[in-house]
Chains A and B, each alone.
Chain A
Amino acid sequence: MRLKFRHKITFEQADKLIEKYYDGYTTVEEEKLLQDFLTQTNLSAKYKPEQAIFGYFETKKQKPAFNIRPYIRWTGAAVAILVLAVGIQTFAWKNSASYAYVDGVKITNKNEIKTQALASLSNVSADNNEVEQSIENLNDNGIMQQQLDVFSGQGE
């Protein structure tokens, strides 16, 4: 097993390479060694200029700061819509559901409601003799004819 040392070159070697670098005599391989050396995090401050040159202090991509405000706004809007929709549905349901009031008491039993509805219908339907008589003459001419018949003596 081969151990991989972080410091591929010593400080002394690094110093020499830096000097050589400034003189413009370093090879590509040496510059690579130097770069590796300078990318270490625990170097003394004296290497900072070289680190800057080799891009160690490369400006980090600034992550856009997390801004919660748009999320709050959208969440708020979604909640508002939901509440409004549920409210409307509830309102609509309450108002559309079948019910009856008998002497001020609300009834929701379907059979009872239906019984009450049929009872009210029967009040205006053929059970009533007066209404039944009029049904047969529901068209306007019929009513007129019925009244005219009274005068002509045929209505009796």
Chain B
Amino acid sequence: MLLIGGFGILPKLQAQSDLQISKVFDQYGERKGVVMVELSDEMLDGYDFSLFKSITIKNNRAAADFIRKCLIKDELGAKKVKQVVANGVPTSIYLQLPRKGEFYRLILFNETFKPEHKITLIYIESKNDSEDVLKLILKKK
């Protein structure tokens, strides 16, 4: 039972490993000027998420470039891509990825320049349709 329980969680851990953005969390997650959050099941009640990971990086243009490159690669496998472009640069990107196993996967990216340069990258897994999740998140205050 322990074994089954133990192995049962592995697919969840591996679900994002095929994505380029997983490198962002690995490389920048524990650096200064960075806030990284991972929420597991017990803290996700009310959101219907299975996994929530976010990273906010301030004043780091190199990181922004790196994230964009990762997103470009992850976009290739995305089911839906939505972007908000300001001055020719996508400031918000939403990637709805194909369902993997029982989870819908979603990547959210936002970049702001005022009052300071700030990048936010969020990765979400949910059993609910990613379209619904996206609407829920974007309207949630």
Contact = CB atoms under 8 A, between A and B. Distances in A.
Interface size class of B (residues with CB under 8 A): 35 or more
B38 A100 contact: yes
A101 to B, nearest CB: 4
Contacts, number: 136
A82 B35 CA distance: 36
Contacts of A122: 141
A148 interface: no
B84 A124 contact: no
Contacts of A127: 141
A40 interface: no
Interface string B128-141: 00000011011111
A117 B37 contact: yes
B72 interface: no
Interface residues of A, number: 43
A141 interface: no
Given A86-B2, A88-B3, A104 B31 contact: yes
Interface string B70-88: 0000000000001010100
Interface of B: 2-3, 5-7, 9-10, 12-13, 29-43, 52, 54-56, 82, 84, 86, 91-92, 108-110, 112, 118, 120, 122, 134-135, 137-141
Q: Which 8 residue pairs across A and B have the least CB separation, nearest first?
A: A88-B6, A85-B2, A120-B54, A123-B120, A92-B9, A134-B84, A124-B110, A96-B40
8 contacts: A97-B40, A101-B29, A104-B30, A117-B52, A120-B56, A121-B137, A121-B140, A130-B86
